[in-house]
Structure 1
Amino acid sequence: MNVYLSGANGLLGSSFCQNAYKYGHEVCALKQEEYNYNASLSDLKSRLSNYTDAVFIHCAANTNMDECESFPDICHRDNVLNTTRLAHTCRLLNIPFIFISSTGVYGEHGNSPYYENDLTMPTNVHHMSKLSGEKEALANNDNALILRTGWLFGGSISANRNFVAKRIQEANNLKDKVMYSDPFQKGNPTYVDDLVVMAFELIREKAKGIFNAVNSGTATRFEYVKEIMRIYDETITVLPTEKKFDRKVKVSHNEAAVNDKIQMFTTSPIPHWKVSLFNYINDNREAWTEI
């Protein structure tokens, strides 16, 4: 099978590129100018007509939450309008369309991990755009697959949004061996390589519709950072902050999700986030001292 991929340089997209061969897939990584709003529809159709037996995995997105809040029109263009046209074009060419969404679309109306049929009440422009992107993908492609994920880690240690690498870099520069982290927000730390496995198994089963796609187990940001340091350097003390971080963008206190549905469609067990985090940190043990 051939995989058209947007966002190939991102945290998740790069993992799709690196792991596709394990499943016998060839990846065609599209450049931004080949699929974004500047590309003509005829050129896009021509570009996506090169392969038969193909799927399109749309990883590209405007993920700068502060920028989305300040410039909602740009966010809408990047995360909604582009998605609409891509899903539509894929439908014309009989190409299944996979849209990477976020568990942030559920909002903050609950305290327990969310199921796919729970209400969606996003609290900021970015997550509103992801929910709108979901709706456009489903409306414009009969074979759309929506993956709601979040708190991604993994990939290159130099990646801009590598949360684990940022925390280890912070630890390397500490003088007093003490870090602070938010105990008020919770979610599912999710390893990008595990998400790729989930995605390819769902694609194999020709699944469509909405699926939560996260590692097993939930954590607060504080518990997440504490586990990172437990694995990386136990001499670092991680303490909970006494109040929520002051952020420009309103984010939900609960971005955790339940994996029950996806486990009905896949055969590989979904690892607990602590297991995958341990493997990721130790597999890159020599590199962490360089950041």
Structure 2
Amino acid sequence: MKLLLTGAGGLLGSAVIAAAAARGDTCQALARPALGACSAPDPGHAPGCGAITAAQLAERLRGYDLLLHAAANTNVEQCETDPDGCYRDNFLLTELLAQAAAIAGVRMLFVSSTGLYGTGSDAPYHEYDAAAPTTHHHRSKLLGEQAVLAAARDNLVVRTGWLFGGAPATAKNFVARRIDEARKAAAEGRHIESNAEQRGVPCWNRDVAMRMLDLAAAGVTGVVNCVNSGNASRYEYVRAVVELSGAGVEVRPSSAAGFNRKANVSPNEMADNWKMRMLGWPDMPDWRASLTTYLRTELADY
């Protein structure tokens, strides 16, 4: 496949580049298209701003097999205080890309979140469960999904979970930051705490990236959950990170209330790869096994 990728510098985008190379696919980065307020155009002229139209953007997409949209505003807390920015980044930009891809005749894969299922169940969610997002971030992702699926019937939406991976210096490297926190606590002779109430699925960016490309190459369409096997509370996840890293500090369970979040994030972000299983796809690797591999390879010297 010949891929065009948004968010190439992000946690998942960087893994997509590596996965594409391993598959023998061509992958190029697409810079963020300009969005902005435009003055009313004169008849026969473009809007009076630097914003690009879907037709103009389509010219950049021609000749590619797949547009993989991994870029996103992932700051769930900031989305609550700046909803306009959140919907601009996660909905309007996605809508523009979907329209452009449809004009160019290019399939689109949109990366979404299992967090948008909401609070309707205590069990892992299936693709046929209703989405009822509880935050601006997750609602913006749902609107993005709807725009992508409405633009072309062969588009694909992948809902994934708590991503980990990447270089240790990456600011959003959850595993590396928890190791830093644990080492600091150990040096100061204290414990650390983590939320024992919220549950989800830790997902290695490498596993998700490779499976996404496989799904796209196979022509899978619609909404697909794509998470590692198993699930965990935040506490169980952090405890596994600390134990596997050998940081030597106690991790204690705490309540969600102790973290004073602005966003009303669902306590259940677990998902099940029901659709893939029904279509005959193999199980994704267990999250603990992938976490162990990640720590022993990419974080071996950290």
TM-score when normalising by structure 2:
0.90
What is the CA-CA distance between 1:269 and the residue it aligns to?
Answer: 3.7
Give deviations 1:199-256, integer Å, cap 9, x for gaps. Answer: 0111121010001110000100000001111100162211101453211111000000
**1:22-101 residue pairs with structure 2 within 5 A?**
22-32=22-32, 34=33, 38-49=51-62, 51-52=63-64, 54-101=65-112
**1:81-230 residue pairs with structure 2 within 5 A?**
81-174=92-185, 175-230=188-243
What is the CA-CA distance between 1:39 and the residue it aligns to?
Answer: 3.1
The alignment status of 1:284 with 2:295, answered yes or no, reads no
Distance 1:22 1:117 in 2: 32
Unaligned runs of 5+ in 2: 37-50
SS at match of 2:158: strand
Task: Give every structure 1 segment of 4 or more consecutive aligned residues whose post-TM-superposition deviation is greater than 2 Å.
Answer: 34-43, 242-245, 263-269, 284-287
Give deviations 1:122-171, integer Å, cap 9, x for gaps. Answer: 11100000011111110112221011111000012122221111101111
- Root-mean-square deviation over aligned CA pairs: 1.6
* Most deviating of 185-194 and 195-204: 195-204
**Paired AA for residue 149 in structure 2:** L
Q: Is the 8 A contact 1:145 1:207 kept in 2?
A: yes
What is the CA-CA distance between 1:267 and the residue it aligns to?
Answer: 4.4
SS at match of 1:173: helix
TM-score when normalising by structure 1:
0.93
Distance 2:76 2:21 in 1: 33
What is the CA-CA distance between 1:83 and the residue it aligns to?
Answer: 0.9
What is the CA-CA distance between 1:41 and the residue it aligns to?
Answer: 3.5
* Most deviating of 72-81 and 240-249: 240-249
Distance 2:299 2:121 in 1: 38
Distance 1:93 1:257 in 2: 33
Unaligned runs of 5+ in 1: none
Give the match for residue 249 of structure 1. 263
Residue correspondences, number: 285
Rg larger in 1 or in 2? 2
Of all paired residues, the percent bearing the same amino acid is 38
Distance 1:237 1:156 in 2: 25
